[in-house]
Structure 1
Amino acid sequence: MASVHGGETIRARRQRLSLLPRACEGCKIRKTRCDRSNPCSNCKASGITCQQPPVETESRPKVDRVAQLEDYIERLEERLSNVENQLAGHGIESEAPRASSVVHTGRTENETPVSQLLKDSPGSLYEGSSSFTNHSVEAIEVAQRTVGSNISGAASSVGASLSDLDALLQPSSALPALENHQFSFNADSRPLPTLESLPVALVLSVVRRMKANSPIFFSGYTVNDTSLIENLCQAVFFPTDPVSLGQLTSMNGILYCILKEYLATQDPLGKQYDLKAFLAKCDRNFNLGIETYDVLAVPTFDNVLALTLAVIKAQSECKPQLCCTLIAAAASHCQMLGYHRELTYRSDTRRIAEQKRRIFWSLYIFDKNMSLLLGRASNIQDSEIDVQYPSLSTDPGQLPWDRWYLMAILLAKEQGRIYETQYSAAALKTSTATREHHINELSVALQQWRTNLEQIDPSRVKHPEIFALSRHHWDIMYYSTLTSLLRASTTSGVGAEISSPCFQAARSSLQSHLRCFSGYQMIDMVSDKDFADWVLHNSSFNPFLVIFLHAIAATSLEDVQLLDEVVETLRKVRGASSSSERLYLICATFARIAGRMVEEQSSCVGLYDQQTDSLHLLDAMDQIPIIWPESLQDFPEMDTSADQFSDWGVPDMAGILTSWAEGQPSAFGMYGANMRGGQPE
């Protein structure tokens, strides 16, 4: 707020002058100087009535009121025109869908301009207690308390200035525009892709179907409220405000997940519509939306929802590197919006706050799991989180699923602690005693977690077959996480020790894998690809390497048989994706080598103590590579000279085992990143 000379603000000056009496009407007409008394001396001398000027009110002249109404009508007409343009631009159909739609990525005359589609700016962004804004607010509060105890004129002037400053710091006056998230904002030079149309009748049928019978998708992590999808579809198909790209992308992402489920379960809706064709449309629309700068860079609720759905899709397609990219973008949005802090939910309704919490904690689960799986620091730090967990449902059919969701959050917390205390760069510099202390502490925490998991009552759960099948998946997650914990290096520089509890956890993990695969085979709605994508590639396969080392160290035929059984399950799903094929080839090679070495009664991987059932690894790189060529040549079903081995080859496989033996995750080799000299190519 500007100020006049002497430190008096404009507002204070206006307030002071408004208190002064004004000249009477008689003196104004005669154009004489009025002494501003009542009655004034001029009116007394003239013997006329002294008429005081009327008090000004805040009411505007009639002309201004008419102009305001005209402007309001003009803005309403503009908004109505925007809605009509959007309906034409999105090609929303009220009848049955046309046979085909031509899709362009350039601007067409019916395409909605980006300035209209993204008119809604992101909300106020979260700033922590160390920020300049928060320090300024604290300083203002202190100054206001000081001024409040002083009733002088100077204090009044300072108080007005503080009020002006406080207004400048309010979130409403600092709403970040879209321009703050990009270098330029030119709708004409950066058109959005045209999304293929979906028939309104289909969307309405899906919404009615969801409300009548909650899909399995709603029993998971991210979304469990039909009103969110219903409101999202209303905002897109029957808009009263400009539709954002995040809304369009989120809607297509949710419909993609639900239509995919309806196809797998052979829902009766498939007899009315070609669900496979509409699933492909949703898939394409969703991909186009996710691959835009605005969704990745602009922090809004709809963009966070879209990115979280994209993480689920990337997991289902076994693309861990893409998954990490999407998690990083979504986590950044959450932190900028303050979803990790409880104070940012105070102004939200209970339903909206619950939706935000579920999305945040879902991202948290994905982030911590991928962190341990790939050996990378997580994007979301536990020290910054104080947001509450999602509430539990009162519906007895949904309650067990919600309890599992809470258990997933707690397991993710332990996975984050395992990485931080055992595998991070800082952890590798700590003493052996410190790391062993953390291992013992986390082992107890994981055991308590499993005890709590087993106490969940599934007797009234919705979708009981899927719930029972998921139980085996939890066993895999528990034992593979426990193996990664117990496997963490207890010595540095020379090698590592694998204890008997680690061998037991690894064996239990592979046995759980066999039970889980058998359960998936018995349910028609789940394909081999689903098993590969959701079970194999979202849990650590370190237990396989642990049992491989135990087999050749203890010359155990029982371990070799277990490895062969696991390889057989991998063989059945090897065609699900290139990652499944790669995982099969690597594990089959390890199993074959273990069989040959046990058969020849040869062990050269370290010092094995039969009494304690523990193995101390010395230097795996000097011992293992000499075995690989002969073993690979003896594979009856593999062509070792084929191009399929050119991408990973003998040195790569040796690198997988060596880096793992030194206490590093093996996910790079398992997922396809080439390791040469310890660096990914």
Structure 2
Amino acid sequence: MDPGHANNGPAASDDSTRRAALARDPKSPGSEFSSRPNTCVPRSERKIDQIEVRLGNIESLLRDLSQRPVSTPGSNIQFPVTPAAFPGLDPASTSTAAFDSSDDESVLGGDSVIAQQTTFASDLLEHAVERTSLNDVSPKMWEALANLRQLAELQSRQSISHGPRFPLQQPIPKGGLGQLPMPPMDIVVNLLKRVRASPPGLFTFVCYFIGISDFSNLCRMVYFPTDDFSDSTFIIVNVGLYYLFLEQHHLTVDNKPLKDEFASHLYTSRVNLETALANMSLFLSTKIETVQALLMGTLYTIDVCRPSVAWHLNCAAAQICQTAGFHRRDLSTRNPEETDIKAILFWYTYTTDKALALRLGRAPAIQDWEITIPRTFGFDGILSLETKAVAGTWLNAATLQGQVYEQLFCPAALSQSPAVLAERARLLAAECRRVEADSYQSREMAILSLEKIGASPLVDVHLKGDEVQLLSTMTLIYRAVPAPEGSPTRFCQDCIDTARKAFRAHFVCMDLVRKDPHARAIYVHWNLVLTPFAPFFVLFGYVIETSSQEDLHLLKQFSASIDETSDASETMQKLSRLCNIMSNVAALYVEAKSQQVEDQAMVPIGDEFDVYLSQLGLMPVMDSAMGNAGDPNAEFGENAQVNQMADWMSGNRNLLGLLEQDISQIGGVQWPPM
């Protein structure tokens, strides 16, 4: 096989072509089989001989994959921007941002458990295809193995030192940010007038939650700069315009030229925003305006699914809040007129901090024992009671997320015994159920009030998505509760049931946003990527261990729902590709394992799946020498359960981290649904 075509995977090879080539080349490995007279050799033996040749080619492919670097050529990694989601844009106008990449820095970072698995998996893999002659194996199965291998290679080798990604960033003109082109002023003025006369929508609530009371005046400062305006003002205005045009694009249904015009202005706002964010000073003032700009930048980067960038911005906001004393009762009351807005900004920073910390596996920037102000948002005006109730449940959910990381998944927690972790998980699960009940009441009250005044459906998306986030967090908690002794799976029944419930809630939300790609993208980025969507990985692991057809169907249904969003953004294309790969791997794994029962020659294929899935942290590494490969709960170390959980969490986090990488070489041509 030509090494230059290794990326095509085993499925790209045609058996008849390969056999013909082997027959023509007497020097090819296995050509002695082709040269034997057909009349002298039984048909079954000829078939085995041909399969041995195929195995030699497969082995060469896998070795080539293991030796070939996975990063793009050269010293820089390029991150292209796909403007397809924004009709009417000139692709030539988009930019790419290149960042230096170090080959010495692993995407696994501090996840040493996964790194150790890589060595184990590589050693086992080297012998997996050599042990037994195989029956004809579906090309789809070989493609699945190649995809898994490439995912594992990316996890263990690809550099993460690319820095924050701002692919739309443009050079700053000589006159500063004020010289960047802005959306037409007359259109902005007309839209702001329309917003004031309409029921509250997403733009209104964003300004409400960030404490921006006079957005029109900020726009005047940027459009008619009698004095120099700050970078923070420029960022706030462009994030506001981003949400303004995003909402109008969503609400415009039957007028394609107008919808395309809104998309173009939306893109202009994004370019300005990313240019400003990419050039923010390291040392920022402790003004309220600065925190507002950082928080709005955080909201935007979560919307476009860049959690690592959102972490940088939100941490900067958290540092300013704490330096300025937004979180201390004695300091915040020195200026009573600013007390409420400081509390709003601090608590919004707090909720995002906890979610991002759990998503990225890092300690939160804000610690609960440092806070002395009341745990409430000081909202006034329309829907203040409903909004305050919903925001209160956000606070409770954020506190819970912080406790989940601290008590179950941080390094100190993972040094505890399984019994200690299980007891902590049960207590957290009880608290999560209480938060879920409170959240349901607050959410239904808010949605009912919003429907009465005709609020934008985009607000509903955010509110209903909270249920999915909370169920995902609860699934994560139950992951720390071990299954009963003798169970065929690592996951307790509560974990499986909660994961299924999260899937059903997700399908309901997707029905709400099915008609608009931007709404779909926002929902998925906030509720499936910001908080690690543990239910997918739980049911994936459960299918691998039990061959559950019901849950395999849920995985396929989930992948199909994500596939509907692939037109919304580059990240959604990656997530769709990743989900398709994993759900098809699950289906093919079940097929391979079912064939093993009748055909022992299929055992090496099942073993290869096991190796790759273990390397990805999606199933436990089993030491066959200890004879416990059939029991997912078997003890192969003092803290086997804890090690498995750490592997699983790291694997989930790292797979989601690939959404910020280039995975275009993985997946290839998708096979038809099974």
**Range class of TM-score, shorter chain:** 0.5 to 0.7
Which residue is equivalent to 2:335?
Answer: 348
Which residue is equivalent to 2:392?
Answer: 406
CA contact (8 A) 1:210 1:226 kept: no
Alignment partner of 2:616 out of 654, 659, 678: 654
CA contact (8 A) 2:461 2:523 kept: no
Which residue is equivalent to 1:671?
Answer: 657
Which residue is equivalent to 2:527?
Answer: 535
Q: Shift of residue 369 of structure 1?
A: 0.8
Once residues 674 and 391 of structure 1 are traced to their aligned partners in structure 2, the CA distance between those partners, rounded to angstroms, is 33
Which residue is equivalent to 1:326?
Answer: 313
> Structure 1 residues 481, 395: closer, same or farther in 2, change over 3 A?
same
Once residues 439 and 567 of structure 2 are traced to their aligned partners in structure 1, the CA distance between those partners, rounded to angstroms, is 33
Tell me how many residue pairs correspond in the alignment.
Answer: 450
Q: Shift of residue 660 of structure 1?
A: 5.7
Which residue is equivalent to 1:19?
Answer: none
Secondary structure of the 2:366 match is coil
Q: Shift of residue 661 of structure 1?
A: 6.2
Q: Is 1:422 matched with 2:408?
A: yes
Once residues 249 and 395 of structure 1 are traced to their aligned partners in structure 2, the CA distance between those partners, rounded to angstroms, is 25
Alignment partner of 1:515 out of 498, 502, 508: 508
Q: Is 1:302 matched with 2:295?
A: no
Secondary structure of the 2:236 match is helix
> Structure 1 residues 599, 321: closer, same or farther in 2, change over 3 A?
same
Once residues 594 and 271 of structure 1 are traced to their aligned partners in structure 2, the CA distance between those partners, rounded to angstroms, is 44
Matches within 5 A, 1:349-364: 349-350=336-337, 352-364=338-350
Alignment partner of 2:325 out of 320, 328, 338: 338
> Structure 1 residues 582, 292: closer, same or farther in 2, change over 3 A?
closer
Q: Shift of residue 672 of structure 1?
A: 0.7
Alignment partner of 1:212 out of 197, 217, 241: 197
Percent of paired sites with the same residue: 23
Of the structure 1 ranges 331-340 and 352-361, higher mean CA displacement relative to structure 2 is found in 352-361
Q: Is 1:449 matched with 2:435?
A: yes
Query: What are the ranges of 5 or more consecutive residues in structure 2 without an aligned counterpart?
Result: 1-92, 94-173, 597-601, 621-643, 662-674
Once residues 547 and 402 of structure 1 are traced to their aligned partners in structure 2, the CA distance between those partners, rounded to angstroms, is 35
Q: Shift of residue 485 of structure 1?
A: 0.9
1:494-544 Cα offsets, whole Å, 9 max, x none, are x994211111111111222222212222x5585443343333322322211
Once residues 436 and 411 of structure 2 are traced to their aligned partners in structure 1, the CA distance between those partners, rounded to angstroms, is 29
CA contact (8 A) 1:469 1:520 kept: yes
Which residue is equivalent to 2:629?
Answer: none
CA contact (8 A) 1:552 1:603 kept: no
Which residue is equivalent to 1:547?
Answer: 539
Q: Is 1:564 matched with 2:556?
A: yes
CA contact (8 A) 2:480 2:645 kept: no
Q: Is 1:460 matched with 2:472?
A: no
Q: Shift of residue 570 of structure 1?
A: 2.1
Which residue is equivalent to 2:219?
Answer: 233
CA contact (8 A) 2:425 2:481 kept: no
CA contact (8 A) 1:223 1:355 kept: no
Once residues 260 and 580 of structure 2 are traced to their aligned partners in structure 1, the CA distance between those partners, rounded to angstroms, is 43
Which residue is equivalent to 2:584?
Answer: 592
> Structure 1 residues 513, 276: closer, same or farther in 2, change over 3 A?
closer
Which residue is equivalent to 1:383?
Answer: 369
Once residues 272 and 433 of structure 1 are traced to their aligned partners in structure 2, the CA distance between those partners, rounded to angstroms, is 57
Higher-Rg member (1/2)? 1
CA contact (8 A) 1:555 1:603 kept: no
Alignment partner of 1:583 out of 575, 587, 600: 575
Amino acid at match of 1:211: R
Once residues 386 and 186 of structure 2 are traced to their aligned partners in structure 1, the CA distance between those partners, rounded to angstroms, is 34
Once residues 328 and 591 of structure 2 are traced to their aligned partners in structure 1, the CA distance between those partners, rounded to angstroms, is 58
Once residues 326 and 624 of structure 1 are traced to their aligned partners in structure 2, the CA distance between those partners, rounded to angstroms, is 49
Amino acid at match of 1:218: T
Alignment partner of 1:627 out of 570, 593, 606: 606
Amino acid at match of 1:321: S
Once residues 433 and 444 of structure 1 are traced to their aligned partners in structure 2, the CA distance between those partners, rounded to angstroms, is 17
CA RMSD, 1 decimal:
4.0
Query: What are the ranges of 5 or more consecutive residues in structure 1 without an aligned counterpart?
Result: 1-102, 104-189, 605-622, 632-648, 676-681
TM-score by length of 2: 0.59
Once residues 536 and 259 of structure 2 are traced to their aligned partners in structure 1, the CA distance between those partners, rounded to angstroms, is 46
Alignment partner of 1:498 out of 491, 495, 501: 491
> Structure 1 residues 231, 385: closer, same or farther in 2, change over 3 A?
farther
Amino acid at match of 1:434: V
Alignment partner of 1:252 out of 235, 238, 254: 238
Once residues 323 and 203 of structure 1 are traced to their aligned partners in structure 2, the CA distance between those partners, rounded to angstroms, is 27
Once residues 269 and 351 of structure 2 are traced to their aligned partners in structure 1, the CA distance between those partners, rounded to angstroms, is 26
> Structure 1 residues 354, 577: closer, same or farther in 2, change over 3 A?
same
Once residues 259 and 543 of structure 2 are traced to their aligned partners in structure 1, the CA distance between those partners, rounded to angstroms, is 55
CA contact (8 A) 2:613 2:619 kept: no
Q: Shift of residue 581 of structure 1?
A: 3.3
Once residues 565 and 355 of structure 1 are traced to their aligned partners in structure 2, the CA distance between those partners, rounded to angstroms, is 43
> Structure 1 residues 239, 576: closer, same or farther in 2, change over 3 A?
closer
Secondary structure of the 2:196 match is helix
Q: Is 1:286 matched with 2:273?
A: yes
Q: Shift of residue 286 of structure 1?
A: 2.0
CA contact (8 A) 2:589 2:606 kept: no
